[in-house]
Amino acid sequence: MNKIYYLSSCNTCTRIINELNLPEGFELQDIKTDAITTSQIETMRRLTDSYENLFSKRARLYKELGLKDKSLSEDDYKNYILEHYTLLKRPVIVYNNQLFIGNSKKTVEAAKHAIHG
| 89 close to 36: Cβ distance less than 8 angstroms | no
pLDDT of amino acid 1: 83
Pairing, β 92-95 against β 3-6: antiparallel
pLDDT of amino acid 108: 98
**Average pLDDT for 89-93:** 98
Q: Whole-model pTM above 0.75?
A: yes
Q: Give tens-digit pLDDT for 44-78.
A: 999 999 999 999 999 999 999 999 999 999 999 99
